[in-house]
Amino acid sequence: MFETGLVSISFRDKSPQTIITEVCRAGLGGIEWGGDVHVPPKNLENARMVGEMTRAAGLKVISYGSYYRLGCSANPGRDFRAVLDTAYALGTAVVRIWAGNKGSSEVTQEQLERLREEAFELALMADGYGIDIGLECHHGTLTDTWQSSLDFLRKVNHPRLKMYWQPNQFKSVEYNKKAAEVIAPYSINIHVFHWDAEKRYPLEEGEGVWKLYLQPFLSTGKKYGLLLEFMHDNRIESLMETSKTLLKWL
């Protein structure tokens, strides 16, 4: 089962109200609000206001896209508490974070152990808020391969720590299909786009591969957010057509 939405950082230069209006026009169901521009951490009044605006328009706050990175905070407890407070004020039960700032092949065993310990402590904190943590699936971080992602989730072993999934534009269709199969049971949201290492393409051109990628998620029987992330031309005017493509697939 899927619910549809937009990642707000797709249009960092647009106001929350403009984004809400365009998401409604496009027929999507919700928004992942980004923590860099639209809903920065610690500004709880703004978070509450954006959350209320979203729900008043009939949309769901699907998640809070934070930029908290494991292993990069001098005071993880304080800094992540601010993220959780902001997500709670926004009115969402999902927070996205990043798995450090090094690729899996660059992380030493000692660093890996510290990241696991921190992830477990953050998951304990998040559990007190009734919030799930989703690790961004991204190159240049520990979750840059499905193997390293799976190993990390299993070693941390906390039900609040989960994954986002997205195709790796630097890998083959076969690799991404395998990654989707492995990560689907651990995932909560999916970032949707159609890129390769050199170029962004209209989403409609990716219908064939995306039907392959989504099949493992359908097979779990769980619910996921399908969140459009960036238009191929960065224009908000393209959201309508891109959304039509996504909705047609469903």
> Domain residue spans in the chain?
2-249
Q: What is the pLDDT of residue 149?
A: 97
Question: Is 2-249 in CATH node 3.30.450.20?
Answer: no
Tell me, what's the pLDDT at 54? Answer: 98
The answer to whether the CB of 136 falls within 8 A of the CB of 96 is: yes
**End-to-end Cα distance, the chain:** 9
Instruction: Output the pTM of the full model.
Output: 0.96
Residue-level pLDDT at 1: 86
Residue 242 Cα distances to 81, 220, 231, angstroms: 35, 26, 7
Is residue 91 within 8 A of residue 55, CB to CB? The reply is yes
Distance CA 71, CA 109 (A): 13
- Could you list the pLDDT tens digit for every one of the 250 residues in the chain? 899 999 999 999 999 999 999 999 999 999 999 999 999 999 999 999 999 999 999 999 999 999 999 999 999 999 999 999 999 999 999 999 999 999 999 999 999 999 999 999 999 999 999 999 999 998 899 999 999 999 999 999 999 999 999 999 999 999 999 999 999 999 999 999 999 988 999 999 999 999 999 999 999 999 999 999 999 999 999 999 999 999 999 9
- What are the phi and psi torsion angles at 63 (to 5°)? -165, 170
Across the chain, where does the E strand assignment appear?
2-7, 30-34, 60-69, 94-98, 132-135, 161-165, 187-192, 224-228
62: which 2 tokens? Answer: 């699907």
pLDDT at 237: 96
